[in-house]
A and B are shown apart, each in its own frame.
Chain A
Amino acid sequence: MPDKEKRATPFGIAAAAVEKWLDGVGSAFATRRKIQDTRGHVASWDLELQHPTLGNQIVCISIPKDFPATPPQVYLDKQLCLVLPHIEMDGRFCHDVESSPIDYEQPTDAVVAVLESLKRFWILSSDTVWVTEEFQKERLSYWLRFCEKARLSNALPTPYAVRVQLRPLEVTTEGRLCAYYQKGQKLRSDLMVATLGDVDPHSLASRHGWAVKTQVQGHSLFVPIKDNIPWTPTDWPKTLQELEFFVAQATDHEQSVIHWIQNKSDKPNRPLMVILVQSMVCFGYLISPAFVSRVTSSRIIPVVIGRADPNWALARDHGPQVLAGRQGKKVLLLGCGSLGSPIAELLARSGVGELHLLDKEVFESENCGRHILGAPDIGLSKAVALTKRLHELVPDITIKAHRAFAANWIHNVCKPGSYDLVVDCTGESAVRVMLSHYRKHSLGACHLVHAWVEPFCAATHVVFLPYGTDWPPDDPGSKLAAAIWPEDIQVMLPACGAGFHPYGAADVWQSAGFTTERLLAVLDGNISEAVVWSSVRSQAFFNALGVDVVTGPIVPEKGLKYDSTQITRSLKDILADG
């Protein structure tokens, strides 16, 4: 690329400003690297810095090709990875400086910010206490690098991935292990799955589609270690003897790793893994069998462990306590259509323990535009296909499909006390009325929610009926409606009962989010009164529909087409209003 052209781009101009400094007045302190480095930087300079404990160090500051979108990078001796914190395996210093909007205007500021960060690090890193604390603080990151180093250096068969279904544990607990190998590959496993107790790792792997080719069953040993036990580069066991010692210390000499290995060695070539668990963070050691039994000793391979249990996989929204509450909940969802299916997925991902889906219909191609399911599911039962999908997608959930009509199933199958919450997403008056009559008979002590949308998704209503409050059997839905709609707004098809209301996934998924948010509040025990939640579009939206609709008082007069309002009303008040 010609120089002129390079300089004319925003990146080029920014790089040039830094070059002007560091090749100019800054060159007294920074020496430009003559040889282009392999990391793909525009330019790099070496700084010679005296470190209080490490002595003279060459530190390299580099301008990335996409600077200033990416801040300047600083590289130290890569041998310092795991000696000092915040140093990557390639020596890159994690300076924690993010790009700033002013960097395009004042590119050298970014360099100054990075140098200031390096300066702070230089001071702090001579303090052993700080170094240890930093290592401990981000111990998982450093462990990851340690494992990667081991993988790259010692030619031991580090598995490509290890997944664990962890549960909180108090004492050392045995578990199972399943290792998967590609065809013809006997040494390095593609994936290992470890489970606690008698849980079958293979069924877990099959459920989520992880299982590949040949499987070999083995054993795992989960050792909880106290939170205050340091786990920094100097603490990590590096030999079997050190691991033995570490585990003995951590378990008050109750657990011997070596004995455990010996006990499991009746059948050779079974994979064995020791998993240290510190505040639900796992650090694994794969035991590599002795090459010559009784002559060479077993070796240990540090491995990075990914957790695949709900406490990790489903807890980004809330703490483990809330999640534990949800995991104990059982929910029946009636209707797996355009509103029910996204609600089912949202509930499943929110950590609900058991979900039963009921729908009689078959998934058709015209459903693809506004459903969770898609073309591969055409012709399948909506309830069954959705169950299959969520079973695979969401760890640990118990999910069941009932391909049935709601009325039949509630009358014939459903037993009182089976559910904590029943959600009716059929949108059908007949189902609401049926439930009003069958609530005591079939549902018993459980909460009930009716959710539906008005035509064009102009409003969403969620009626919460706690145990003890019933929906009037005359189905007074119109009392809470946002608008009175004309009869002929369905798009008619040349078939009996095949008309539909026009709205898209983008509309109804908003309704699903609105509804699920409130269902979770119910499940979390935060709501006790019978209320109606409504999300209502503004008058401008209704006006733009071009149909003869009469809006009620809850429709906001102000606002543009895509404005809306969300309100909570007491069911009692609505029903009393006549």
Chain B
Amino acid sequence: MNQQPKIKKRSHLIVEKMEQRQESQQWEEFIVAMLRKLELPPDKQVAAERRYKEFGRHIANKLDVAETDVHVVVQGSMRTQTTIAGDGRENFDLDVAVKLSGPQFEGLRDSEPFFQQFGKALEGLDGSGKPSPKSRCWRLPYPGEPFYFDVTPAIPMSDEITGTDLRVRDPITTWSPSNPEEFAEWFCGIANKRLRFQIEQASKSFIEARSTIDPLPKGKVGIDDILRRMVQLMKLHRDSYYKQQTDERKEGKPISVILVTLAAKAYDEIVTHEPHLYSSSIEVALEIVDRMPKFIQKGSQSIRVDNPALNGKHRENFADKWNTDGGLRKREFDTWHKRLTADLESLFSEEYSKRSENRIRNVFGEHGMRAWKDSLPQGVLGGLLASAPTQSKSQPQAPRPSGYRNSLA
């Protein structure tokens, strides 16, 4: 093994200090707990699932095609399991692709009529609001629910009838290639890989679980799913960061798919080539962030972040716009990335007990900070206390009178 780095990495030093303070477990628990708060609650996940499962039949009816020609697949963060509440919007953005096949959709040249027809077909779903067009998808709100769907209609690539590659409407290029399932598969394939220390921990805790006679109440978990949790964390940080920036800068905000691709590549490199070098999830997390920029391909002509799941014929450059915006997006990526690194380092360099609102806000956003504060169980006895007889409630701030306390014996 000649992979031992000669100089200690920054991520390693931060984690080493954290270990000295014996705080890494606490930090991991905290991050996981925070992200959980910002995920779509399980009951709402069920509700969302119930909703999109209605899409197929409804659209088939409206478009008058066989139900077997309509396939609804989740894509994006739902598929990669990295959904997270956005920049303070109450609503979760859930991506769904509707794959349409059959003669009606073969050999289409123009994407526009197809796209509009699909939009119409989306109308009238039970509980949904009016769909509105986006560049590739229709946004379908569900009033009263904490989520909306971005529904992307997709049809097979015209020359590849049996292939899984899809194309979707693009207002500029007419059609764009798309492969949500392959991309998600690629991502999950990497995200599910584990580092050596995780494997050892897992087997150790299994042994411990068997030998502990009097187990302490459990319920806390560390970061086991490092890549997914990091993607969530990055999205949160990005959204909260850009919320404070000018509209001009907001334009250049790094898009999720680029973050996901770069992070996955960084994690893949770590997990494939250096599975032994790390001993803590936080160290790996910091290392992922550190390595992301190097997976942006900087050619002489263009900057590329290729869709890793589209091989061969149809290449897709997620960073296409970076080459035509006068360097805005590249600059923004660099600025944001630097900021993320600094915020994470400053958060983790802090003593856990002193974690401050400010630093939590920097990393997890206003929304995250509020979720954190709300989660402090102030409300736990609220109902019962509110039902107390009025005389008890009348002076909530008045200190409780005590008898004379300096009578000693």
Contact = CB atoms under 8 A, between A and B. Distances in A.
Contact of A115 (B26, B377, B381, B403): B381
B378 A119 contact: yes
A26 interface: yes
Contacts of A126: 376-377
Given A29-B383, A50-B380, A55-B219, A100 B388 contact: no
Interface string A101-115: 110001011011101
A20 B392 CA distance: 14
A54 B219 contact: yes
Interface in B340-388: 352-353, 375-378, 380-381, 383-385, 387-388
A156 interface: no
A101 B29 CA distance: 44
Given A21-B387, A98-B402, 16 more contacts: A21-B388, A21-B389, A25-B387, A26-B388, A28-B387, A29-B384, A47-B384, A52-B377, A53-B220, A80-B217, A83-B217, A100-B400, A101-B401, A119-B378, A122-B380, A126-B377
B3 interface: no
A17 interface: yes
B46 interface: no
Interface of A: 17, 20-21, 25-26, 28-30, 47, 49-55, 79-80, 83, 97-102, 106, 108-109, 111-113, 115-116, 118-119, 122-123, 126-130, 133
A47 B381 contact: yes
A30 B381 CA distance: 10
A100 B403 contact: yes
A67 B387 CA distance: 20
B391 A113 contact: no
B208 to A, nearest CB: 14
Contacts of B392: 106, 108-109, 111-112
Contacts of A50: 377, 380
A419 B241 CA distance: 78
A102 B380 CA distance: 26
A112 B388 contact: yes
B387 A127 contact: no
Contacts of B1: none
Judged by DSSP, the binding face of A is: helix
8 contacts: A25-B387, A50-B380, A53-B219, A54-B219, A80-B217, A100-B403, A111-B388, A127-B353
Contacts of B219: 53-55
B216 interface: yes
Contact of A26 (B217, B352, B378, B384): B384
Contacts of B216: 83
Nearest to A130: B353
A133 B354 CA distance: 13
Nearest to A49: B380
Contacts of B352: 129
A407 B189 CA distance: 103
Query: Which among A30, A55, A129 has the greatest number of chain B C-beta atoms within 10 A?
Result: A129
A29 B384 CA distance: 6
A80 B214 CA distance: 12
Contacts of B387: 21, 25-26, 28-29
Nearest to A129: B353
Nearest to B33: A52
A99 to B, nearest CB: 8
A109 to B, nearest CB: 5
A104 to B, nearest CB: 11
B401 A28 contact: no
A183 B23 CA distance: 53
A102 B401 contact: yes
Contacts of B353: 127, 129-130, 133
Contacts of B400: 97, 100, 102, 109, 113
Contacts of A28: 383, 387
Nearest to A52: B377
Contacts of A100: 400-403
B384 A54 contact: no
Interface-central residue, B216, B375, B378, B388, by most chain A CB under 10 Å? B388
Which of B216, B381, B402: most chain A CB closer than 10 A? Answer: B381
Given A54-B217, A100-B400, A108 B388 contact: yes
Nearest to A59: B381
A92 B352 CA distance: 29
A30 B219 CA distance: 25
B51 to A, nearest CB: 28
Nearest to A80: B217
B139 to A, nearest CB: 35
A112 B217 contact: no
Contacts of A98: 402
A321 to B, nearest CB: 24
Interface in B206-221: 216-217, 219-220
Contact of B389 (A99, A108, A116, A133): A108
A52 B375 contact: yes
Contacts of A99: 403
A51 B389 CA distance: 26
A108 B391 contact: yes
Contact of B380 (A30, A53, A119): A119
Contacts of B389: 17, 20-21, 108
A155 B402 CA distance: 44
B388 A129 contact: no
Please name the 5 residue pairs, one residue from A and one from B, whose CB atoms are nearest each other, closest first.
Answer: A29-B384, A129-B353, A25-B387, A108-B392, A26-B387
Contacts of A80: 217
Contacts of B29: 128
Nearest to A47: B384
B217 A115 contact: no
B26 A128 contact: yes
Contact of A123 (B26, B217, B220, B376): B376
Contacts of A106: 391-392
Contact of B385 (A79, A102, A112): A112
A51 B379 CA distance: 11
B26 to A, nearest CB: 5
B156 to A, nearest CB: 48
A165 B286 CA distance: 54
B68 to A, nearest CB: 44
A119 B393 CA distance: 16
Contacts of B26: 128-129
B229 to A, nearest CB: 18
- Most chain A CB within 10 A, of B378, B381, B384, is at B384
A49 B217 contact: no
Interface string B23-36: 00010010001000
